[in-house]
Homo-oligomer: A and B are copies of this chain.
């Protein structure tokens, strides 16, 4: 037990004990297994698909407690938990290994933007739908031809009085083929400088003129899609924030995304790299048989261990009142480069068996497909080059011209 004093428990300690008891009683065994891919997750939506009864039960029980998004205000269907309570809940869920009952870009990305930039009506309407898991959201930022130059977007939203007429194309819209709604950057003023003519728009994916096409990656199938808008009518009330002021919202969201990607690191693999090495290469004279790979593995593990300390240190500093600022670029850059290096090493350690792309023996090429997939880590959510630019300009103050 954490509490060894004779004094009465604090409110937070009571909350912890009650939460623990409730989770133990209510979280089905199967929902305590770690998530292996996005197909293990429940995403909600208009036409919800549960992949097991347990998943449904768990979602419904958590929904009832308003714990799908425990830290949002109660008026929007959130749990209204304080920062401290939310931390306790997370810790206790982590202790048991409970899966989040609901995944959705509405929670992780759109929600924070709505809370900050939306009007009351929008908050009321959309945040409640999000906490209830009633809409599956996707994100419409990137466009072909834009890439790192995100602000160079061409999808247009023409003012038609009561609605916008949207035309254009988005890429890298995850789950667009399954989503109910999309939050989107569109160009509302083609004459303005490129950052100034952008607006933030919510679009119903069932609108006429919206179509999607899945993108196949090097690694195989993916949740990514291309999304096409062909004379799509969008009511003006779906505009978030002011017209032509969407870039501010976009930047706010991008920082969120970057932190997510940087922080997540490698969710797929929990085994230490040297264990993987020992399994594949073995010992010789008490050291890893391949002495050159041994050095590379040690170098990687040291860098990784130290980077984790930096994450802790930064969290401690934020708690102590310092702001995170542009260092999310550092996390994004470093975490993704480390992950790529790790998979390079694993491929070397696995030898020719690691090159098998199909078949049971290789779990349908799990390793090489993940290897290929990691190559995108340093591209999506802002390339490594963009992160280095941000560091050199915003943190180091190096001149632009």
Contact = CB atoms under 8 A, between A and B. Distances in A.
8 contacts: A285-B285, A287-B291, A291-B291, A291-B292, A291-B294, A291-B295, A292-B295, A295-B295
- Which 6 A-B residue pairs are closest in the complex by CB-CB distance? A291-B291, A292-B295, A295-B295, A285-B285, A291-B295, A291-B294
Number of copies: 2
Contacts of A294: 291
A294 B291 CA distance: 9
Interface in A260-295: 285, 287, 291-292, 294-295
A285 B295 CA distance: 17
Interface of A: 285, 287, 291-292, 294-295
Contacts of A287: 291
Nearest to A295: B292
A287 B292 CA distance: 12
Contacts of A291: 287, 291-292, 294-295
Contacts of A295: 291-292, 295
A287 B287 CA distance: 14
Nearest to A298: B292
A291 B289 CA distance: 11
Central interface residue in A285, A287, A292, by most chain B CB within 10 Å: A292
Given A285-B285, A295-B295, 6 more contacts: A287-B291, A291-B291, A291-B292, A291-B294, A291-B295, A292-B295
A287 B291 CA distance: 11
A294 B292 CA distance: 8
A287 B285 CA distance: 12
